[in-house]
Amino acid sequence: MATILLWLFPLLLIASVPVAYAMIGASGVALFLENKPLAVMAQRLYTPTQSFPMLAIPFFILAGSLMMQGKFGTYLVECAKLFVGRLKGGMCHVSVLGSVMFGGVSGSAVADASALGNALIPVQKKEGYAAGFAGAVNAASSTVSVLIPPSIPLILYGLASNTSIIDLFVAGIVPGLLLGFGMLFLVWVIAVKRGYKNSPAEGGLSHWKKQLVHALPAIFMPIFVIGTLRFGIATPTEISVLAVAYALIIGLFIYKDINLRGIIRAIIETGVMTGAVMAIIMASSIIQWILTIEQVPQNLAMWVTATIAEPWMVILAMNVIMLIVGTFLDLPAAVLLLTPLFSSIAASIGLDPVQLGLIMVVNLAIGLYTPPVGTTLYISSNIAKVSIGNVVKELVPFYLLALGVLALISYVPALIIY
């Protein structure tokens, strides 16, 4: 069954079949050809939907959607401009710092790329930045969102590998900040070289105070999530519900910029996004079942450890595979497919599951702005109205930075394991 599955699934993807349908179709054919009862498919599709921790996904998505209905995004951008607008290339610095701050609100790179890209790229082009460079900064920096809590990919990995989501959230902070500050430095170097101007925030001390006060509720979100989880006050699912309540209170009673229409729009957006994620989760459950009964993860782990002598080479091989897969599959699907395979390999060489989770998410995040299926790459190039090739050329230093951070978290576990 596994052989049929592993051949048919890529063929369906090449034929442009949506990922979830490709998973279900390949699994169904494999079961049918091996004379297995197709009722197994219905059972496996249903099983993952009965997970209480999985409720955290739609509630975190809803919390982010509610915040974005009002002026949260505007306040975050203005706050970022206060701190980095005076640097050379100020508006691109705002894009990077905005992504770091935005990540704690949305937890989604796609939401980040769309919201910040639409707000900042047109302004950057007007101020004389190359369209390809503006698109590249947005495409790369938006992926910081998948590391800053609450991160949807880290939740998916935690559920798929039975790893503590709390530990994953805490571990994601340092890589996220390394990427963020590294991108700020890159933008500054390029801006100085090209002579891009700064964009200082207008107004005096009173303006600073006003913008900081407006931005604090949004900035406080990741602190709220990490703090309550770290001190055992609530579970991730309970925190996600509290995050929704928090977003409603801020929008309705403090900012007073969200109405019933905005709430309904946020619920609809959440339903669409949750449906897409759940379809992949349900479909991947069938594949995971087939791989498990065929003992593919165990056999793969035995083969790898017997073939590759050194643990550092095993980690390198996993990185290469994840980088390749990330360029063809969306992040949620790739996480759910690769986790059962690589968890066994990681266990065989003593690699901590939290470290594996961060390695996987950083690898697959690079795929989000790498052709041929780079989601944030396509979003950013469309907003910038420039060719994919132009943006990719500007992305080269960002690829090198991301690979450097990936190497650090792969071989220096002290950065993320506390």
Q: What is the pLDDT of residues 180-230, one digit of tens each?
A: 999 999 999 999 998 888 777 665 566 667 777 777 777 777 777 777 877
Among the ranges given (175-179, 200-204, 276-280), the one the predictor scored with the smallest mean pLDDT? 200-204
Whether the per-residue pLDDT at 392 is higher than 70: the answer is: yes
- Structural tokens at position 135: 């698109």
Helix crossing, 90-106 with 165-194: angle to 10°? Answer: 170
Asked if the model's pLDDT at residue 117 lies above 70, the reply is: yes
* pLDDT of 13 over the 70 cut: yes
d(C-alpha 322, C-alpha 315), whole Å = 10
Q: Average pLDDT, stretch 268-279? A: 85
Inter-residue contact 353 to 177 (CB < 8 Å): no
% of the chain exceeding 70 in pLDDT: 95
Report the pLDDT averaged over residues 402-407. 95
Hey, is 87 helix, strand or coil?
coil
Distance CA 336, CA 281 (A): 7
Report the C-alpha gap between 188 and 390 in whole angstroms: 20
* Angle ∠(296,164,312) on CA atoms, nearest 5: 55
Rounded (10°) CA dihedral 44, 45, 51, 56 = 150
The segment with the largest mean pLDDT, out of 78-87, 269-278, 356-365, is 356-365
**Predicted local distance difference test score (pLDDT) of residue 89:** 80
What's the pLDDT band for 92 if we cut at 50, 70, 90? confident
Q: Is 35 left (phi over 0), alpha (psi -120 to 50) or beta?
A: left
- Which pLDDT score, from 0 to 100, does residue 318 have? 92
Residue 115 pLDDT greater than 60, yes or no? yes
What's the pLDDT at 105?
A: 65
The yes-or-no verdict on residue 402 having pLDDT over 90 is yes
CB of 376 within 8 A of CB of 136?
no
Phi and psi angles of residue 36, each rounded to the nearest 5 degrees, phi first: -90, 150
Is pLDDT above 90 for 286? no
- In this prediction, residue 10 carries a pLDDT of 81
Token couple for 251: 């929008």
Hey, what long-range contacts does 220-225 have (CB within 8 A, 24 or more apart)?
Answer: 221/63, 221/67, 221/104, 221/105, 221/246, 222/103, 222/104, 222/105, 222/148, 222/149, 222/150, 223/104, 225/104, 225/149, 225/150, 225/169
pLDDT > 90 fraction of the chain, expressed in percent and rounded = 22
Q: What is the distance between the alpha carbons of residues 409 and 358, in angstroms, rounded to a whole number?
A: 8
Which pLDDT score, from 0 to 100, does residue 201 have? 63
Q: Helix, strand, coil shares of the chain as percentages rounded to 5?
A: 80, 0, 20
Taking the C-alpha atoms of residue 217 and residue 254, their distance in angstroms, rounded to an integer, is 9
107: confidence class by pLDDT, cuts 50, 70, 90 = low
- Mean per-residue pLDDT, 78-82: 77
Segment 369-389 shows an average pLDDT of 88
Global confidence as pTM: 0.85
| Confidence check: pLDDT of 300 > 80 | no
Give the pLDDT confidence score for residue 55 in this predicted structure.
84
Write down the mean pLDDT value for the chain.
84
Whether 49 has a pLDDT exceeding 90, the answer reads no
Q: How many Å separate Cα 365 from the centre of its chain? A: 6
Give me the mean pLDDT over the 312-338 stretch. 88
Q: Using alpha carbons, list the distances in angstroms from residue 199 to 2, 94, 374.
A: 56, 9, 30
Top mean-pLDDT range of 6-15, 21-30, 154-163, 199-208 = 154-163
The encoded tokens of residue 98 equal 């905005």
